[in-house]
Amino acid sequence: MSLDIDTPTSRRRSIGSRYSTFMSRRASLMPTLAAILILVVLLIAAQGQFGNFLSPRNLSALLLDNAYLVVLAVGLTFVILTGGIDLSVGSVMAFTGILAASLLSQGLPTWIVIPVALAAGGVIGWLIGVLVHVFDVQPFIASLAGLFLARGLAYVVSLASIRVEDEPLLWLQRTRWTIGDWYITPTGVIALATVLIAFFVLHWTRFGRTVYAIGGGEQSARLMGLKVARTKVMVYVISGVCGGLAGVLLTAYSGAGYPRNGIGTELDAIAAVVIGGTLLTGGTGYVLGSLVGVLVYGTIKKVISFMGAEQSWTQIIIGALLLLVIIVQRIIVARSAARRR
């Protein structure tokens, strides 16, 4: 008899306890959920302010304008998950972009140029990875050397901007597949495909588990017999190849290669990854979070351009909003940590 009376209460409690079990097991999801929440709040607030912000055209453009940043952030997520950092991504993007533009202007076919650009990015990434792993150089410094190298090489290729006349490359940006008012270009598809591939690799392969394990504790990963050396070099190669791909996308997007592209983009990418909930200490984070992070970043920039603010205010507002995002995230994470205790 008493059992029957108890049932509803115990069931309710079990939902609550199931929630707290879920939260304690998935505590690392909290920052990413916070980022999604922030994105939703930002979008709704912008809609309330401007009225036409949530239009399909505008949201489609949000992804396509930031396609290159998505690709960079995906590559960077791998590196940051192992506890490293790659400052070279912006410069690598500039280098491979101008390299592609220059090779195309010399008449090489697209199907050769794009692999060459990806390989060039991969080689710089490999160099950084070897410095980090084999020679114990701190990732910050090794990738800083990569930054200088790639930026310098970009200027070696050309000091001025090079226009792209190549049809297949321009096709990547000009083609628009539409569903109603929504549209997507091949560049957007490539960016999303990169995210999906990275998601698959990180969560369903041995390599991905090794990446997380290294971030959790390199020594333990080594003692577990995981292939730490190969994986550590590989994440920088992935980041480099992503930089190469971003260079191709940016060149298609802007219709030209320019050696001064992407100065400071590495910081945008790091900010996006962090907003997306990946900890810079490594081991915790999601590549889908990085996509959300880029969208938050892109939304912030778009809101500012909607307001028509000047350059000085743009920088101040981006800084202030980044701070706001981080503090909100911090509070949410602290709450969930307190709940677990």
Partner 1 sequence: MKRLVKHRLFWPAVALVALIVVNTIARPQFIGITVRDGQLYGALIDILRNSAPLMLVALGMTIVIATRGIDLSVGAIMAVSGAVALTIIDGSPDPEHLGTVLVAVVTAIAVSLVLGAWNGLLVSVIGIQPIIATLVLMLAGRGVALLITDGFITTVNSAPYAYIATGYLFFLPFALLISIAAITLLAVFERRTALGVLTEAVGINPEASRLAGVRSRGIVFGAYAVSGVLAGVAGIIYSSNIRAADANAAGLFIELYAILAVVLGGTSLMGGKFTIAGTVIGVLTIQTLESTILFLGVPSAQSPVFFAVVVIVVVLVQSPSLHRWARNALRSARERRTADDDAKAVVGS
Interface residues with partner 1 (CB under 8 A)? Answer: 85, 87, 131, 134-138, 140-142, 144-149, 151-153, 155-156, 159, 259, 267, 270-271, 274, 279-281, 310-316, 318-320, 322-323, 326-327, 330
What distance in Å separates the CA atoms of residue 27 and residue 216, rounded to the nearest whole number?
A: 15
Contact 322, 69 (CB under 8 A): no
Rounded (10°) angle between helices 311-340 and 265-275: 30
Question: Between 193 and 324, whose beta carbon lies closer to partner 1?
Answer: 324
CA distances from 61 to 187, 299, 306 (A): 11, 10, 13
Contact 100, 248 (CB under 8 A): yes
| Cβ 221 to partner 1 shortest distance, Å | 18
Q: Strand, helix or coil at 284?
A: coil
The DSSP letter of residue 184 is: E
Question: Between 58 and 143, whose beta carbon lies closer to partner 1?
Answer: 143
| Cβ 34 to partner 1 shortest distance, Å | 14
Tell the burial category of 172 from Cβ atoms under 10 Å away from its Cβ (0-12, 13-18, 19+): buried
What distance in Å separates the CA atoms of residue 235 and residue 32, rounded to the nearest whole number?
A: 22
The DSSP letter of residue 1 is: -
* Distance between first and last Cα of the chain: 35
| Cβ 73 to partner 1 shortest distance, Å | 15
Contact 150, 92 (CB under 8 A): yes
- Which two three-digit tokens encode residue 154? 């970009």
| Cβ 131 to partner 1 shortest distance, Å | 7
Q: Which helix (H) or strand (E) holds 315?
A: helix 311-340
Contact 221, 227 (CB under 8 A): no
| Cβ 142 to partner 1 shortest distance, Å | 7
R_g over Cα of the chain: 22
Contact 287, 77 (CB under 8 A): yes
| Cβ 182 to partner 1 shortest distance, Å | 32
Question: Between 196 and 316, whose beta carbon lies closer to partner 1?
Answer: 316
| Cβ 259 to partner 1 shortest distance, Å | 8
Question: Between 145 and 192, whose beta carbon lies closer to partner 1?
Answer: 145
Question: Between 16 and 152, whose beta carbon lies closer to partner 1?
Answer: 152
| Cβ 309 to partner 1 shortest distance, Å | 10
| Cβ 330 to partner 1 shortest distance, Å | 7
What distance in Å separates the CA atoms of residue 332 and residue 310, rounded to the nearest whole number?
A: 32
